[in-house]
Amino acid sequence: CMQIFIDTADLNEIREAYSWGIVDGVTTNPSLIKKAVDRRPGLSMRDYIRDICRSVEGPVSLEVKGVSTEQMVQEAEMLYERFNPVNGNVVVKVPVCTAMEDGQPLFEGIRAIKTLEGRGIPTNATLVMTAEQALMAAKAGATYASPFLGRVDDYLRTKLDIAFDKSDYYDPLCARHLEEQTWEEEASGAELYDRLMRSDISDNGIYSGVDLVDSIVTIYDAYGFDTQVIAASVRNARQAREVAEMGVDIATLPYHVIEDMLTHPKTLEGMQLFTRDVVPEYEELFE
């Protein structure tokens, strides 16, 4: 069964969602934690994180801040030693690649994940934007890999100069159809191939964030990797449904997306009829 993590640092949201009986863990980040702490004067960030760990019986992802292997390993050990004793559920988020510009080291995150795996500290390889990155994270022993499907959609829509709101669904079938239109004109095989390559609107063969998750799930299944896939940066209920259809291990969802997954106009209408159909004789059964 697909697990659902809630992607927030708001304790009220975490506790409310956990009370529904469907939330299995929490993912968060430093900026979300700071915003949440700022709304609770007098409470330290350290105590606030402890409260998050106590609030769920499932994994809680906390991030390192360094960019070198040595920094990330040291920070991961500190986070794990400081917060895991609270409820035994800390997972350390490590960027799969910490390079911020050309020429910087590429494998610091992978090395850190491998080192932490050897020391028994569970890791969440974060900022995964390609299936190739996810493959390397799994080979390094990451407990989880988090492809950011919403950010991949943003990248592809920006590449196409499409105006969008982040909550908008991006349909890869439309993108593929745009490419296929190139085939409809008469031309030689070489000309069609060249035209199609120049009109490629994918990201190295990936047509959406959901498409990326599908690719990673396929690779992991093919080789029996133990690394679990967390579909991250999910922006709407349709994306959550689509990653569930492909058998993703986990989806980490904002509070509003979890709410959207339970709503439908016909359900609202049905509830009106449902309550209207309760006749007095049936009501007496409950007295």
What amino acid positions are annotated as catalytic residues?
A: 93
State residue 134 phi and psi, 5-degree precision.
Answer: -65, -35
Residues 243 and 195: their CA atoms lie apart, in Å, by 32
**Max alpha carbon distance in the chain (Å)?**
80
Residues 238 and 153: their CA atoms lie apart, in Å, by 14
End-to-end CA distance of the chain: 39
Cβ neighbours of residue 192 closer than 8 Å, sequence gap 6 or more: 182, 183
Closest CA to 251 of 266, 268, 267, 236: 236
Q: Helical H runs in 123-188?
A: 131-140, 149-159, 172-180
Residue type, 233: S
